[in-house]
Structure 1
């Protein structure tokens, strides 16, 4: 059974597919979901990061949720097992490395800090090393230049102790010893990585969908083959839409990437100016646009792949959820779900497909 988790501005939509179609439930009302992660070994365990309302966990595939990481109760002294900031900007799990109960969980915050839990979110520990990077005084998030945040955490496959962290805006950092020591951004590395991914079939390789293209069109997309030490840019084909936001890698092919792209941040995120596209890059060929069937006036799309059929990809935008079959006609088609008019004015932030 397929399950789609779609983060809107004020709630999380949990869509479950059955023989009768899709059932939509609204969860975490009043929060601002920004990232969802599913435990690789147990799809009933789901984490949701919210901006301003902390971190949440479900142990029944999204039916019920409870808060994680609260630093302490009102009447208790400050402890060191929680996450002090309620502004959780990332949550993810290690694809292979497990703790005491489940896969290790990572949480990133605003201002920039990275935490990990080895017991399913009961206790948290901070990697304080990132606070001492020489580049830190230059980190800032343009809409709120007084602060910055962790955009992505990408655990490695070849070395399970390799961790890469994207700071928006400012750096891609990496550790090769499970966070004990950190390497600051190398020269010529991207500074505004919106999505940072690794692939199980390409150990040591990092993929970066960048906002850097808005300032330098040749820096829209970057890859590193050595865990972040050196980067090379592969932005051919993105000249019309050089500002990248989200990305999904084909689980069956490490050289097959889909990205969401816009002319710039205004077209990606601003109501009234929204205009976004989707591109695909296969092997060393240039990116090519694949936006046929997508509605005009869309905020930047959030992408995911079907967990059961590797030929199906999904795109979430303010007009609904669309799917594409890569083994047939290359056109995005809408999924038949009830879509509220209010959602047409909302900026979706996260999208994950799972199954149980």
Structure 2
């Protein structure tokens, strides 16, 4: 049965499908400023949550309790997490200011992966709300090569390493600058996806070059991203006209788009379709959605400020999980979503 970890701004919702009795929700880490959450399907009893002011937390009992971890990070702002698909004990963390760290024992000890801020473009990186700094917004490990890492810097660069973080390459041809969410697919070697503030992009050579399928994508400030586990050519994104309409509940107006190249004679010409009247709230008053999948084809989960939802046809129709969703939650912008079968 699935367990969904939804990180809101100031608490973590641990939602368990009790099969027959609906979903049960427990609140954890209330009062902390959450940034990200990660769970591995190969070790579903472990969950990690990054916070902006209090470092990194780990649960070893499927979200029943959390403990703070001692880390050597440059700051207590843990802005991104990734668990290797090759080994659930291998965990990566990104921080503000931008640094990347690796643990090979599920967070007990850490080593820095040096060199990120020595890249030539680093002097140009900045995060508009805090322009004196920047952070690692997303980390991804290639499913075919455990030493190939993908990093999204907010804002300034897409960065990758093909040697486990010994060396880094930045801003390859066509890459986006304001990467928010990266994704890969276990059935498509070399494919990397990004939802960025400067638009959507895909790579077919492990991030070394990029193309920009934008046709039909009317809102190009992209944030949330998921790929159908059963079809690497089916992609869903959340997007808005800009940061204020994506993230601020009082000015929000965000949308969800789906694109599929399956069966297309010319994949480059496949266009995006805006998903409307599907059961997933979009438009005025709705902040950008975050998505996650398990390994079940066609199944995708979404969270926004209106609730937690699931689709079994990759976005065609959505159902609410029926959680108790307070007015306080409606004023928040979710920070992370991780769903795992337990």
Give TM-score, length-normalised by structure 1. 0.89
Does structure 1 retain, via aligned residues, the 8 Å contact 2:142–2:149? yes
Is 2:12 aligned against 1:5? no
Q: Which residue of 1 aligns with 2:77?
A: 87
Of the three residues 290, 294, 297, the one matched with 1:302 is 290
Q: Which residue of 1 aligns with 2:271?
A: 286
Does structure 2 retain, via aligned residues, the 8 Å contact 1:48–1:56? yes
- Distance between the aligned counterparts of 2:75 and 2:280, measured in 1? 37
Q: Which residue of 1 aligns with 2:153?
A: 167
Secondary structure of the corresponding residue to residue 150 of structure 1: strand
Does structure 1 retain, via aligned residues, the 8 Å contact 2:229–2:296? no
Q: Which residue of 2 aligns with 1:345?
A: 331
Q: Deviations over 1:74-122 (max 9, x none)?
A: xxxxxxxx223110000110111x3xxx431000000000000011111
Name the stretch that deviates more: 146-155 or 285-294.
285-294
- Distance between the aligned counterparts of 1:40 and 1:9, measured in 2? 24
Is 2:310 aligned against 1:323? yes
Does structure 2 retain, via aligned residues, the 8 Å contact 1:10–1:32? yes
Secondary structure of the corresponding residue to residue 232 of structure 1: coil
User: Offset at 1:351?
Assistant: 1.0
What RMSD over aligned residues (CA atoms) do the two structures have, in Å?
A: 1.5
- Distance between the aligned counterparts of 1:291 and 1:325, measured in 2? 16
Residues 41-80 of structure 1 correspond to what in structure 2 (within 5 A)? 41-70=42-71
User: Offset at 1:303?
Assistant: 1.0
Is 2:181 aligned against 1:195? yes
Does structure 1 retain, via aligned residues, the 8 Å contact 2:179–2:197? yes
Is 2:294 aligned against 1:312? no
Give TM-score, length-normalised by structure 2. 0.93
User: Offset at 1:210?
Assistant: 1.1
Q: Which residue of 2 aligns with 1:233?
A: 212
Does structure 1 retain, via aligned residues, the 8 Å contact 2:77–2:95? yes
Secondary structure of the corresponding residue to residue 268 of structure 1: helix
Of the three residues 221, 242, 245, the one matched with 2:200 is 221
Secondary structure of the corresponding residue to residue 333 of structure 2: coil
- Distance between the aligned counterparts of 2:243 and 2:82, measured in 1? 25
User: Offset at 1:249?
Assistant: 1.0
Does structure 1 retain, via aligned residues, the 8 Å contact 2:249–2:330? no
Unaligned runs of 5+ in 2: 262-266
Secondary structure of the corresponding residue to residue 135 of structure 1: helix
User: Offset at 1:41?
Assistant: 1.4
Q: Which runs of 4+ in 1 moved over 3 A?
A: none
- Distance between the aligned counterparts of 1:175 and 1:308, measured in 2? 26
